[in-house]
Amino acid sequence: MDLYSTLSLWLTNIRSLAELDDFCRQIWKLYGEESLGEADAERLCEKAERQRANLRKDRKGSYVLPRSCYPQRPRSERSRHEAARGLRDPVRWRRKRRLARMQAIRPEFAGEFTEGESAALYIVMSDCRQHGNCDRSVKEIGDRAGVGPTTVRNALRKAGTLGLLRVTERRQWRARNLTNHIVVAHRRQIAWIAKFRPNLGVKVYPTAFKKAASTGSSRNKQSKGPFNSRSDLAPEGSKPFPSHDRGPADALAAKTTLAAEP
């Protein structure tokens, strides 16, 4: 494609007067450098003037071709400084600080991330440990971590640069793109999350007590009752055997009693 065709294609994609003014300046700059001929420069200027007239006509009430097929977000009246210092949700704020302190990243990499980015990576590492990968959307990760979408994107970008994560974009033709496919790529980080026990994003196992096996010391094996039951008592009229731990005086007194009986 020659220079004239490239500039003509650029002109067809212009949607504002400011871009059109910049286009005209580039034409005369190329003409001054003798990269563009005089005839081509004049034809491009004529096309630019027609494009300018169409844009001014569109501003008066005609339909303007939108840049995107998705609805645009309304522009906020607050500046970036005011938005950054606005009121914060205390629940999301506490959740972000709690998740950031759980150390889902190895200590040698933890200093590279902010508190919000560490909380976002906690959600990613939890899903990677449970499912082997993370396919959540940026908004869902941010809601679970208590941070915004921009913080999540910054965390994924930094982790990809450090080699901790491998993020695969799944673009779709003429459709909304699928969520990113995120896996842990660093070998030492994989070993770290194998020992890592997150409380969010993984299965919660119930705790219970194991019933101890009975030793049989509290019940009589024959009568199935306790030892202190009435069936274990000596029958009426029978005399107990003398104890082996009695002293000599007690044994002599027992023999005298048995001899005196008729």
Q: Give me the chain's average pLDDT, please.
A: 77
Q: Do residues 110 and 22 both lie within one domain? A: no
| Sign of the alpha-carbon dihedral angle for 212, 217, 220, 226 | negative
| C-alpha pair distances (Å), 61 with each of 5, 11, 18, 58, 70 | 31, 22, 19, 6, 21
The SS3 assignment for 210 reads coil
Q: Decide if pLDDT at 252 tops 90.
A: no
Same domain, 41 and 98: no
Match 């003798």 to its residue by tokens. 34
Residue 204 lies in a domain: no
Q: What is the pLDDT of residue 30?
A: 84
* In a domain? residue 19: yes
Residue type present at position 86: G
C-alpha closest to that of 27 among 41, 48, 12, 14: 41
Q: Per the domain annotation, does 81 fall within a domain?
A: no
**Residue 78 belongs to some domain of the structure:** no
Distances, alpha carbon 115 to alpha carbons 8, 56, 118, 168, 171, in Å: 49, 49, 5, 24, 30
Q: Is residue 114 part of a domain?
A: yes
Average pLDDT over residues 18-45: 83
pTM strictly above 0.75: no
Given a cut of 80, whether residue 249 has pLDDT beyond it is no
Confidence of residue 10 (pLDDT cuts 50, 70, 90): confident
Q: What is the pLDDT of residues 153-192, one digit of tens each?
A: 999 999 999 999 999 999 999 888 999 999 999 999 999 9
| 150 lies in some domain | yes
Percent of the chain scored above 70 by pLDDT? 69
Q: What are the pLDDT digits (tens) for 108-128?
A: 999 999 999 999 999 999 999
CB atoms within 10 A of CB 16: 11
Q: Tell me, what CATH number does 102's domain have?
A: 1.10.10.10
- Asked if 95 and 188 sit in the same domain, the reply is yes
Buried b (16+ CB within 10 A) or exposed e, 250-262: eeeeeeeeeeeee
Range of the domain at 15: 3-59
Least confident of 56-65, 138-147, 178-187, 197-206: 197-206
Q: Domain total for the chain?
A: 2
